[in-house]
Structure 1
Amino acid sequence: MSKSLNIILLSLFFALSIQSCKAQQTPETVKVDGEKYYVHIVEKGQTLYAISKKYAIDVAEIKKANPELNIEGLKIGQSVLIPKGEVDRREFKKSDVSISGDTIYHKVVKKETLYSLSKKYGLEIDEILKINPLVEKEGLETGMTVKIPYKSGRSIETEELEKPREDSLRLHVVQPKETLFSLSKEYDVSIDSIQIINDGLQEGLKVGTTIRIPKSNPKFAEFEKQDSIIQDSLKEVNWVQTKPFEIAVFLPFKLWQADTLDSLGPDVKELMIDNTSKIALNFYRGLKMAVDTLNKRGVSANLHVYDTGGEVDTLKSKVENDTLQYDLVIGPMFRSNFEWLVKHYDTLDIPMVSPVPISSKFLLSKDNVVKVYPGAGAQMVRLAQYIGNSHSDSNLVLWNSSRFSDRNLVEIARKNLNQCMSELGHDSVTEMSAYTPSKSRIFSTFKDSTHYTLFVPSKEQAYISQFITSLNDLYLSEKGVTFTVFGLNEWAGYDNLEITSYQNLDIHIPTPRYVEYDSPAVKSVLKKYRKFYGIDPDEFALLGYDVSHYFITLLDEYGPYMLNHLEKSNKNGLSVKFNFVKLGAESGYENQAIYIYRYKNYEKDRVH
């Protein structure tokens, strides 16, 4: 058989083997926020590394355009945006790269050599020849399709080679007259879970568009669900603690081994090397104090504390050979570490608590994961509900910044305010807007001698600074206009907002953590902490106390069935309120409790 015939037959074989990817040869192009993107549909076996090579773009740029990849990884059937502006156009134009499953197929173009291919894919020439015997036998020819064994890449990050998982979500094409309520009933999921995984559905449901819906687990079918409830109830009634609880705590001390932590006292702070270590130490101190308090009350629990450092590899080395069965896991603090640990313990059904912010989307299909820090969406919902219920009779106005970055926040605020208004028998909330909140615009918008309650869901610092300055100028004028303004948690970090403006405009700020230093419970803990450590506890020490005290108390009361009672176990801690909501039948739990404070006599004053 001639060389040319060999090439024809080989090309035909590859064409058949990758026919499922043909649609990806000319990917769809979309425009998002003024930027153009290719749309790549992820297929089974494809990896971030393979996709990056197909489009001649760095993996980092793909992840930047698709931030959910940092949390969830690739999923089969997922639409991944490829920013056209970051693609190496010259390389992309001349290259003919296809991917099928976990294999890259590279079509040789003019002037390409084995050496250039080895450099392009980070391989040795021998690795390419090993799985391309025809190339080794007859040499590289223009037009030939070469298989690339990318798993052997020398400088490829592990996460870039992770294969996509089966998506725990189903796709639904919106039909006429369908609503979020009807879809939630059809699929037996909550409205909030549908909104969360579709980025808030800021433009609402549009006929013909495709949205993602959490899949229902067959075990939740009604006849099985009833049987499961009965069986679990019987087990729970008969459950008795016969041995100490085993609790694992993962924190990034970056300094010590677990067996030395109990010796840490007030003299350790000069050993700290960075802020992360200090946060971990203070969290641990609060946690340890709560455990000691519970032990004195008869709760039997063993702490297993792991120094995770800052890398996943460090965490792996700590737990991969660990055979102890834990009853509760707290931490780690770093997102990548927490995600890896959740996967590692996936089959053990251990309650896993994240005390720091993680994406609400990460809770989907992970019914043992608990998120203590309310997400931005949850905070918005709670704040809007509070405003709607407590200020619906006032001159309530939703202020829309008209900024694209705020559109999702405005939609959540609008939806929840109007729902509250409707339930209370009021019309929809009044909405005002100004893209540029200049002094002249603000003065002409509001009526003289009138009080307004404004809800301003915006995170644009420059906009908020100008808006608040203009409002304050109006307040200080002789027009008699007064305000009660509700802002966002982020405003507390805007150092260009003066405290006099907070007081003049009666600005209210939501926050997931707040400490009532005059409360007897806080005073008692402060006294004990000062006595042992010689310093006051910071916010992370109080967080460590609250998280451990709350969950270990639940564990002591309900044992392995504690998660079944989480939604009904509302409680106020020293700095955190606990009010958990389950985001779907198969999903985890998110704390949705917030505080709201304002400034009174130049001091914080909690109003909710």
Structure 2
Amino acid sequence: MKKTIFLFTYIFIIFSVLSINAQTDTSIINSNSKVIIDGKEYYIHKVEKKQTLYAISKLYNVSQKTITDNNLNVKENIGIGQFLKIPIIKNQKTLSDNTDENDKFLSHIIKKGETIYSLSKIYNVKIEEIYKLNPQSKNYITIGDTIVVPKIFEIFEPEINKKEDSYIYHKVEKKQTLYAISKLYDIKIKKIKKANPELYERELQEGELIKIKKSASKTEAETIDSNNNFVLHKIEKKQTLYAISKLYDVKVRQIKKANPELKNNSIQEGQIIKIPIKNNIKLQASVVEVDTIIKPIVLPAIDTTIHPCNDNFNYTNQVFNVALMLPFYTNINDTLGVSDSLIQLRKNKIYSKSNIFIEFYQGILLSVEKLKEQNVSINLYVYDTQNDTMQIKNILQNNELKEMDLIIGPVYSSNLQIVSKFSKENHISIVSPLSLKDTFLINNPYAFQISPTISAQIKYTSEYLNSFSAKNFLVIHDGKNINTNLLSDFKTKLFNTISKSKHEDYNYTEIYYYQKEDSLVHANLSPTSKNIIIIPSENRAFVSDIVAKLNAFSRNYDITLFGRPNWVRFDNIQPENFHNLNAQIFTNSYIDYKKKDVKDFVKKFRSSFKTEPSKFSFQAFDISYYFISALKQYGKDFQYCLQSFDIPLLETEFYFERKDNNSSFENKALYIITYDKNYDVVITSSLPKKTEQK
């Protein structure tokens, strides 16, 4: 079940009541019913949905004035369910009674995909004739409208494959625009409108058929019929020209030469293109049918795992669907109802675990708002996962999920595994926003891990330490919360990265800090060289104690302390101790409140939510803004372009790596936050180095 949280809005249910003032007995509801009033015969007609006064007048072959004169409550507008008296004129047949071939008019109800142009072809009449009888159709027609059509010749159904001398038919796909169609056929928009005059007055409709003027060159089917060195290929979801070129073992430029309409590598799902094939290419026996071409298509047995970056994507008129999956625990929070705003909710007592996810959601909302200011259209779908695997499975039953361009969340590993499998099956990028575990990354080329893994932290920590001229390395632990494999891995990487010149005279010592005994630490400090002290612990009590002891030693020794990201949240450590020890903290996020964009975000957040943004709000903004901006820049296959994608964010950087085309993406970006002797906190390094990222 989809849970949507509405902000700053109350839901009001407004009931509209339509009053029907019939001048006759309301039990007569059939238009074929006749009554006699004051000696005159009338039909009683009940107005149906989308019927117009004009259409009804043609249906009964009477003038509009005749209807309004006999129904004093009617001028021009009529309502659904309203009863009208239609005077019966002797020896005159209505369209509802008429079955003779010589009848003048027919009544047609608009179906999905039909246009005035397609009706003109069905009934073999001119568009102008239909406009003349139905003036309102010049502006728009919608499904269910009743259109009056002159019956001149025998009705026929147009065939999509039937060729006119100078036109072909195109069926409008979902969300397709005139601009997209013009690029598809390499034709100007004004020429499409000229061939389809109704498009001057209204927008395209999904499923409708429009005429496209053929180019001077031979048509696709004619070229293939006369040349056996081509096969037809129907573009599949997410395919690129590069992937297709690998599929058939041809060059991209050869495909583009065979299809002059392909500019800027722009292709669309369902499009049919010609593929030049080599005489000696080995083809599979499998046949793929194409909707409008009879010739069978055979596919060569070539790997298609390589995908290039499409840096010519145009996001104009694109709508991006983004799913956000977070445990809001609406099943626990009685106050978390759709009639409440988040401002109100924060004043009420809510389930404590909901807080950070509400803060995260607020950051998402502000990023969406900023993107919409850039004319990016976004549909944001919000789901409450409740940290329940059954809830996740129920959510994934929604058909709308398969239409997503991006999934952010869920946050818990058990839920993440389930959604990751779904994302892989449906080729949807999924982002793990908070989890440090990387198990969901296995064998999913659409998965993104935001928080750098421990192995990434170890790798770049050891490389960064190599930049110091230090000769004395101390690792201090309490023997309780230490991961021996982790420590061994760190030592190995450190030894491998330290230059050979240091191997002769540097010291590496591991100290078990037993019962707060600091004499062993003191004994291993060097009075003549820089001491690099690494404490791989997140235990608040242990860290605060050893930092206090090291602070006392800092008066006589040159010490640089390296710590974990969560240390900055330890309120039992005096900040001056960090500065005295020249503390260096590895983290993937840092909020510099002096930056203008950070100040603007805080101001906007306060205005919108009447509270201060948390680190989760900043993080959510960066994640959603980064990935939706990537969608805007490169389309749904943005993952192949991230090496060159770099935009300014509020509190983090992203540098994604993966081993091969079938593996997932891990964020390797880290900051080094330094507490210097001047009592400033600054970013002294960003890892990996920019030169490494290219």
TM-score (norm 1): 0.56
Match of 1:586 in 2: 662
Q: CA shift at 1:461, angstroms?
A: 5.6
Q: Distance in 1 between matches of 2:478 and 2:351?
A: 40
Q: CA shift at 1:275, angstroms?
A: 2.6
**Which amino acid in 2 is paired with 1:473?**
A
Q: Distance in 2 between matches of 1:506 and 1:387?
A: 14
List gaps (5 residues or longer) in structure 1: 1-222
Q: Does 1:351 align with 2:351?
A: no
Q: Which secondary structure state, in structure 1, belongs to the residue aligned with residue 323 of structure 2? A: strand
Match of 1:381 in 2: 459
Match of 1:326 in 2: 404
> Looking at CA atoms only, which structure, 1 or 2, has the larger radius of gyration?
2
List gaps (5 residues or longer) in structure 2: 1-300, 686-694
Match of 1:503 in 2: 579
Which residue, out of 543, 549, 564, partners 1:488?
A: 564
Match of 1:415 in 2: 492
Match of 1:44 in 2: none
Q: CA shift at 1:425, angstroms?
A: 5.3
Q: CA shift at 1:540, angstroms?
A: 1.1
Which residue, out of 662, 671, 678, partners 1:595?
A: 671
Match of 1:577 in 2: 653
Q: Which secondary structure state, in structure 2, belongs to the residue aligned with residue 365 of structure 1? A: coil
Q: Where does 1:85-234 land on structure 2 (aligned, <5 Å)?
A: 224=302, 228-229=305-306, 232-233=307-308
Change (3 A) 1:261 1:319: farther
Q: Does 1:302 align with 2:352?
A: no
Q: CA shift at 1:454, angstroms?
A: 2.6
Change (3 A) 1:261 1:339: farther
Q: CA shift at 1:431, angstroms?
A: 0.3
Highest relative contact order (Cα 8 Å, sep 6+), 1 or 2?
Answer: 1
Q: Distance in 2 between matches of 1:584 and 1:461?
A: 39
Q: Distance in 1 between matches of 2:434 and 2:544?
A: 28
Q: CA shift at 1:322, angstroms?
A: 2.5
Change (3 A) 1:349 1:272: farther
Which residue, out of 341, 358, 361, partners 1:264?
A: 341
Q: CA shift at 1:537, angstroms?
A: 1.1
Q: Distance in 2 between matches of 1:572 and 1:425?
A: 39
1:220-249 deviation per Cα after TM superposition (whole angstroms, max 9, x unaligned): xxx956x653xx449775776653011111
1:411-445 deviation per Cα after TM superposition (whole angstroms, max 9, x unaligned): 333233333323x8543753012223633222322
Q: Distance in 2 between matches of 1:238 and 1:501?
A: 52
Q: Does 1:432 align with 2:509?
A: yes
Say whether the 8 Å CA contact 2:424–2:445 is kept in structure 1: no
Q: Identity of aligned pairs, percent?
A: 25
Change (3 A) 1:534 1:313: same
Q: How many residue pairs end up in the alignment? A: 376
Q: Which secondary structure state, in structure 2, belongs to the residue aligned with residue 254 of structure 1? A: coil
Match of 1:445 in 2: 524
1:258-315 deviation per Cα after TM superposition (whole angstroms, max 9, x unaligned): x987973523312451232221211111111111111111112111111222322223
**Which amino acid in 2 is paired with 1:471?**
L
Between Structure 1 and Structure 2, which shows a larger proportion of helix residues?
1
Q: Does 1:246 align with 2:321?
A: yes
Q: CA shift at 1:462, angstroms?
A: 6.0
Change (3 A) 1:440 1:243: closer
1:177-202 deviation per Cα after TM superposition (whole angstroms, max 9, x unaligned): xxxxxxxxxxxxxxxxxxxxxxxxxx
Change (3 A) 1:452 1:375: same
Q: Distance in 1 between matches of 2:444 and 2:663?
A: 5
Q: Which secondary structure state, in structure 2, belongs to the residue aligned with residue 529 of structure 1? A: helix
**Which amino acid in 1 is paired with 2:442?**
L
**Which amino acid in 1 is paired with 2:535?**
V
RMSD over aligned CA atoms reads 3.2
Say whether the 8 Å CA contact 1:357–1:375 is kept in structure 2: no
Match of 2:593 in 1: 517
Q: Does 1:549 align with 2:628?
A: no
1:468-513 deviation per Cα after TM superposition (whole angstroms, max 9, x unaligned): 344333334xxx3221111222444555543343222222221222
Q: Distance in 2 between matches of 1:317 and 1:260?
A: 20
**Which amino acid in 2 is paired with 1:488?**
R
Q: Which secondary structure state, in structure 2, belongs to the residue aligned with residue 575 of structure 1? A: coil
Change (3 A) 1:585 1:261: farther
Change (3 A) 1:410 1:566: same
Q: Which secondary structure state, in structure 2, belongs to the residue aligned with residue 357 of structure 1? A: coil
Change (3 A) 1:430 1:583: farther
Match of 2:359 in 1: 282
Say whether the 8 Å CA contact 1:367–1:589 is kept in structure 2: yes
Match of 1:79 in 2: none
**Which amino acid in 1 is paired with 2:554?**
Y
